[in-house]
């Protein structure tokens, strides 16, 4: 089998012994329940019918939301710690779940020492827990319906657990009501809850089903919006916690939809959801067997155990110390973490549907808590006759710094400012790679940086006092050098994710080519789901001084040779070409040669992007105004329509 399936087994093996201990301990506390039925008055309690609809239960990758506590889409209730971390979040989550299970075991053993409560007391305790009563009310009706067909109780429990809305949280109380021991109830409920999840994760990839379920998925995205930002390990831990806390709107069904929207690999999603389901089973067992007080105690213990490590995060030094100590004490656990961290190319191909509905990662790392990446390589990418030096810099982020094509990284140059001794300000650079990185590992990103030097006529040389601090810092880096980064920033330059037939017009000067390289690599240069699905036309306009200054031309031409009907390229070489008036050919002149065609594409829904020097904008806008005038169209209203439809994307300086 593939490595990731072994990973599921290893993760389950690590959690199972402690979980089993908790189940056995809880079972010892159920003696007073196993031979009785809950009083009918409880079932008839005047409680509102279950108002949680399947659509309302939606939660949400791949991707991929903010790996905050449930980083699905990026709006969950508990925000992920922005502290830079090198420790595996998967490892942390497993440790937290094991500690939580241990805590529940201790609680159950302690409570089992007390005399069993009378049935009436148990009934009163359950009635005091609205969540249990509500689901027992619905679950018992379902159980009685299936009992009428002679179906065994354990099979009924599995069926109830498999149903959306009720799920395991409703099935566990029903199992106790049936008089079954918790040692049989919990495995049956976990099994039933997981049965529909695996086919659901595969069925959601079907385009027809995806369209039919769009309202449900939209609701899921809103509920799980905080789960999609962060590393794959963070996503795994966040999803497990989300599924594991039995509250309205959470659970395995909504977790599965969330995993789909995040774009999580199927095997990883299954292992995360399974861990969450087991955790939810332990919590519901504690609530059902010990009543309201037991539920409060369970939640209090869970909060105490997980609060600092999961919700609040920990400092870099604490995490690094903990990571090293545990690796030394438990080499087997360290090996598991290393294996979990190992991503294959196929994992990333499975991770991203073309219609990626996960929330965009934004500002995962900020100025006060920057991420530290390591330079893989720095390479000059222009010829000797180019006006200036431009470098392509690949930075390793180990999969902990997610981004989308069109976003920017903030870079904090090494050293301090001379005037006050404080760290340098952040400089933003457009990311020049797809979300997979240049090596398709998902662990790197690239920058395209022109070294900023200022010529001094008096010195007849570059003035060292006026050179660009950050650009020179980056262009001078070597393999292994550390770079402090913030972000990712921006949503303006993102590709639309709705329709793979959309046309794109990309206009750039110089290093403004960076985001378009990410676009082209995603759509044409790499075997991604987007490349397989894209049927539109991407049209690149690039303006530079001469042929030696062209950036990534070999890559673009290779992509064009493979997709001649989908990729067009036009260059404006100001020192080698002339415009129609005999002057230098600038980018606005080249776009103007296709004025009517550009206008028609925009009129038909194409998206246009501008990145680079702002000096190109007036000429292009004047060109479009002239086309509108010839067609008796109000340019201002027409351009407002483009912006309202989010077809107009500008990032110039």
CA 439 to chain centre: 20
Q: How far apart are CA 104 and CA 15, in angstroms?
A: 13
Sole residue written with tokens 């290393």: 338
Cα radius of gyration rounded to whole Å, the chain: 29
Residues shown for the chain: 653
Nearest CA to 530 among 62, 31, 124? 62
Instruction: Say how far apart CA 152 and CA 174 lie, in whole Å.
Output: 13
In whole angstroms, give the CA distance from residue 560 to residue 562: 5
Helix orientation angle between 252-262 and 167-177, rounded to the nearest 10 degrees? 160
Residue among 11, 70, 81, 77 nearest 308 (CA): 81
Q: Is 355 a catalytic residue?
A: no
For residue 452, what are the CA distances in angstroms to 149, 360, 392, 427? 79, 31, 14, 13
Give yes or no: 653 in active site: yes
Q: Is 214:31 a contact under the CB 8 Å cutoff?
A: no
What would the two tokens of residue 196 be? 């529909």
Give the integer Cα–Cα distance in Å for 93 and 459: 60
Helix/strand/coil percent split, the chain, to 5: 50, 15, 40
Q: Are 142 and 160 contacting, i.e. CB atoms less than 8 angstroms apart?
A: yes
Instruction: Give, as one character, the DSSP assignment of residue 47.
Output: -
Nearest to 273 by CA among 430, 167, 136: 167
- Helix H segments across 580-634? 587-592, 595-603, 616-630
> Of the listed 365, 403, 429, 552, which one is catalytic?
429
Query: Residue 430 catalytic?
Result: yes
325 an active-site residue? Answer: no
What tokens does 350 get?
Answer: 């499975």
373, 472 contact by CB (below 8 A): no
578 counts as catalytic: no
Contact assessment for residue 69 and residue 80, using Cβ atoms and an 8 Å cutoff = yes
Q: State the Cα–Cα distance between residues 63 and 640, nearest whole angstrom.
A: 32
Q: Is the peptide bond before 488 cis (omega within 30 degrees of 0)?
A: yes
Alpha helix ranges (H) inside 148-265: 153-162, 167-177, 182-194, 197-203, 207-212, 214-223, 232-244, 252-262
d(CA 79, CA 226): 7
Alpha-carbon gap, residue 154 to 160, rounded angstroms: 10
Q: Which of 51, 458, 478, 653 is catalytic?
A: 653
Cα–Cα dist 650/645, whole Å: 14
Per DSSP, the residues of 85-114 read --S-HHHHHHHHHHHHHHHHHHHHHHHHTS
- Catalytic position from the list 134, 343, 352, 651: 651
Task: Identify whether the C-beta of residue 543 lies closer than 8 Å to the C-beta of residue 616.
Answer: yes
Q: CA-to-CA distance for 427 and 489, rounded, in angstroms?
A: 11
Residue 411 phi, psi dihedral angles, 5° rounding: -120, 130
Catalytic residue among 314, 430, 471, 574: 430
Active-site residues: which are they? Answer: 429-430, 611, 651, 653
């Amino acid at each position: 089998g593939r490595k990731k399936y072994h990973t599921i087994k290893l993760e389950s093996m690590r959690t199972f012994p402690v979980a089993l201990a908790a189940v056995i301990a809880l079972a010892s506390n159920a003696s007073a329940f196993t031979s009785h039925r809950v009083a009918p008055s409880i079932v008839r309690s005047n409680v509102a019918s279950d108002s949680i609809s399947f659509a309302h239960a939606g939660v949400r990758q791949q991707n991929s939301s903010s790996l905050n506590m449930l980083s699905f889409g990026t709006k969950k209730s508990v925000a992920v710690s922005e502290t830079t971390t090198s420790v595996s979040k998967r490892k942390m989550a497993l440790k937290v779940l094991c500690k939580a299970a241990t805590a529940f075991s201790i609680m159950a053993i302690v409570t089992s020492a007390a005399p069993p409560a009378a049935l009436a007391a148990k009934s009163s305790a359950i009635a005091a827990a609205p969540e249990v009563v509500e689901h027992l009310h619905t679950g018992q009706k379902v159980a009685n319906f299936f009992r009428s067909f002679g179906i065994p109780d354990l099979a009924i429990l599995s069926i109830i657990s498999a149903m959306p809305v009720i799920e395991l949280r409703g099935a566990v109380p029903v199992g106790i009501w049936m008089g079954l021991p918790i040692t049989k109830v919990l495995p049956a409920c976990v099994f039933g809850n997981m049965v529909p999840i695996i086919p659901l994760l595969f069925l959601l990839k079907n385009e027809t089903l995806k369209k039919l379920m769009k309202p449900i998925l939209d609701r899921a995205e809103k509920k799980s919006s905080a789960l999609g930002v962060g590393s794959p390990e963070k996503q795994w831990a966040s999803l497990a916690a989300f599924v594991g806390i039995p509250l309205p709107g959470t659970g395995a069904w909504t977790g599965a939809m969330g995993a789909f929207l995040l774009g999580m690999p199927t095997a990883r999603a299954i292992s995360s959801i399974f861990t969450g389901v087991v955790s939810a089973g332990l919590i519901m067992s504690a609530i059902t067997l010990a009543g309201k007080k037991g539920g409060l105690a369970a939640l209090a213990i869970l909060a105490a155990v997980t609060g600092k490590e999961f919700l609040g995060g920990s400092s870099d030094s604490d995490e690094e110390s903990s990571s090293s100590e545990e690796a030394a004490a438990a080499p087997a656990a360290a090996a598991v973490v290393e294996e979990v961290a190992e991503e294959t190319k196929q994992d990333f191909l499975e991770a991203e549907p073309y219609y990626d509905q996960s929330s965009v990662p934004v500002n995962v790392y900020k100025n006060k808590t920057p991420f530290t990446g390591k330079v893989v390589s720095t390479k000059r990418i222009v010829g000797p006759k180019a006006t200036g030096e431009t470098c392509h810099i690949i930075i390793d982020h180990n999969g902990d710094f997610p981004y989308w094509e069109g976003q920017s990284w903030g870079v904090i140059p090494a050293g301090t400012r001379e005037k006050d001794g404080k760290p340098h300000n952040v400089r933003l650079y457009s990311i020049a790679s797809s979300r997979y990185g240049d090596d398709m590992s998902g662990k790197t990103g690239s920058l395209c940086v022109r070294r900023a030097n200022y010529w001094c006529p008096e010195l007849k040389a570059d003035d060292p006092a006026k050179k660009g601090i950050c650009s020179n810092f980056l262009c001078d880096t070597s393999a292994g050098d550390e770079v402090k980064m913030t972000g990712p920033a921006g949503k303006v330059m993102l590709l639309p994710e709705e329709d793979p037939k959309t046309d794109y017009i990309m206009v750039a000067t110089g290093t403004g080519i960076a985001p378009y390289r990410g676009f082209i690599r995603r759509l044409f240069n790499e075997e991604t789901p987007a490349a397989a699905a894209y049927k539109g036309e991407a049209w690149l306009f690039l303006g530079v001084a001469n042929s030696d200054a062209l950036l990534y031309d070999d890559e673009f031409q290779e992509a064009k040779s493979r997709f001649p009907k989908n990729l067009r390229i036009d260059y404006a070489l100001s020192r080698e070409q002339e415009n129609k008036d005999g002057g230098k050919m600038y980018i606005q002149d080249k776009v103007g040669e296709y004025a009517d065609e550009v206008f028609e594409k925009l009129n038909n829904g194409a998206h246009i992007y501008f990145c680079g020097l702002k000096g190109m904008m007036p000429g292009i806008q004047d060109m479009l105004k002239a086309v509108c005038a010839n067609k008796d169209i109000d340019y201002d209203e027409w351009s407002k329509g483009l912006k309202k439809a989010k077809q107009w994307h500008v990032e110039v300086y």
